[in-house]
Amino acid sequence: MKKLITLLLIGTLAFSNGMVSADSKVTKSDDVYSPKNQIETGAESVYQKIYSMLSIKNLLNSIFNLEARNCAADAWTEDGTWTEDGTWAEDDTWIADGTWAEDGAWTEDDTWAERELAIYKVVDGKISKDRLGTGADADNPIASHQAIWDKVVQIVPAKYMAMIESFTISTDGYGQIAAYVDSQDNKSWKIAVDPKDVLDEKGKVTAEGVRTISHELAHLISLNAEQMTADTGDRNLFTIEEGTLKKDAYLNLYYHKFWTHLMDQFNSVNSEDEAIQFYERNQDNFITEYAASNPVEDFAESFAYFITSEKPTDNGVRSKKILFFYQYPELVAMRNQISATGNK
């Protein structure tokens, strides 16, 4: 099962007069959802550092490994590190040139992987030592790890908390994979969070960190075993890698309401450029660029904005996607509870 991940913008964002400026194709304020079609300014703006990658190209590279690093012209020393050509640091991490995150590592097949710092068992909503990485406290969770977990507990309702069996702190440096959830059976789940993407300089989970965790909660809600059916013969049911969704499953209904008319376009995407074009043709349909990657991530992005944003009043497609969740009393109650506790 592929990791269901949340990605952040890479690069420096500058907020001025409600506009976003970045080294990317997404530079206009209307490329990010806002009920008033504006980007709020200020250090705690909930629209800063959105999950979407700089481009669909980067997204596809991260998830599907469409591009591998070309090192044919490079030489390796006997210890497996780059020679001293100025492009590889002695400690086996890429130098700070914007193309390599300082805390990550390449896997054996030259694809990028995050570095796990600590893994905790989750029992009754509490974390305890399972396997700790270098520098971790041998007896107690590191304070920053505990702060992130406390926020997860505030946001994730007890029903879904009971599905989480492990909590991982991992990093690939700022601005790539902010968090992900993973499961082999849709019953027991792992959640991983990158502290560099969700904590501020004081060690407090940011507003965008709350949105990140809410995004991962959406995956737990929509992809757990209760949402799946063994009936794989009904062509009206949305089938994904995780399984076939029930007729009344949240994601099945969301898919039929917002995606069926896009599937011919979506299924014809065979390259990175075509993926970018798909988003650009349909960007009014998506709250973020990352949401255009597939229905599963679109659902999670819309849910995250449902949890953390004001109820929209316009009739645009992006607003309708947020309003979709208001038809479920249990989700509205969840939103109200998170608003009361998760943003503190």
Evaluate the CA torsion angle 68, 70, 72, 78 in order and state its sign.
negative
Which two three-digit tokens encode residue 90? 């002695």
Centroid of chain to Cα 108 = 25
Is residue 245 within 8 A of residue 227, CB to CB? The reply is yes
CA atoms of 74 and 88, how far apart (whole Å): 10
3-state secondary structure of 45: coil
Judged by average pLDDT, the poorest of 2-6, 72-76, 235-239 is: 72-76
Express as a percent the part of the chain with pLDDT over 70. Answer: 63
Per-residue pLDDT at 335 = 97
Per-residue pLDDT at 149 = 97
| CA dihedral of 323, 327, 333, 334, whole degrees rounded to 10 | -60
- Say yes or no to pLDDT of 172 above 70: yes
* Residues with Cβ within 8 Å of residue 100, at least 6 apart in sequence: 93, 94, 173
Reported confidence tier of residue 255, pLDDT bands at 50, 70, 90: very high
Task: Encode pLDDT of 189-231 as tens digits.
Answer: 999 999 999 999 999 999 999 999 999 999 999 999 999 999 8
CA atoms of 71 and 233, how far apart (whole Å): 46
Centroid of chain to Cα 330 = 23
Mean pLDDT across 165-188: 94
Task: Encode pLDDT of 271-288 as tens digits.
Answer: 999 999 999 999 999 999
Q: Of 142, 154, 155, give the one whose Cα is nearest residue 203.
A: 142
Express as a percent the part of the chain with pLDDT over 90. Answer: 57
Beta pairing class for 164-171 and 189-193:
parallel
Mean pLDDT across 41-66: 37
Reported confidence tier of residue 116, pLDDT bands at 50, 70, 90: confident
Strongest mean pLDDT among 41-55, 76-90, 121-135, 294-308: 294-308
Q: How far is CA 323 from CA 36, 238, 244, 266, 310, in A?
A: 15, 21, 24, 24, 10
- Say yes or no to pLDDT of 143 above 80: yes
Centroid of chain to Cα 338 = 19
Task: Encode pLDDT of 74-111 as tens digits.
Answer: 334 444 444 444 443 434 344 333 334 344 544 454 45
**Domain edges within the chain:** 4-68+111-341
CA atoms of 47 and 60, how far apart (whole Å): 23
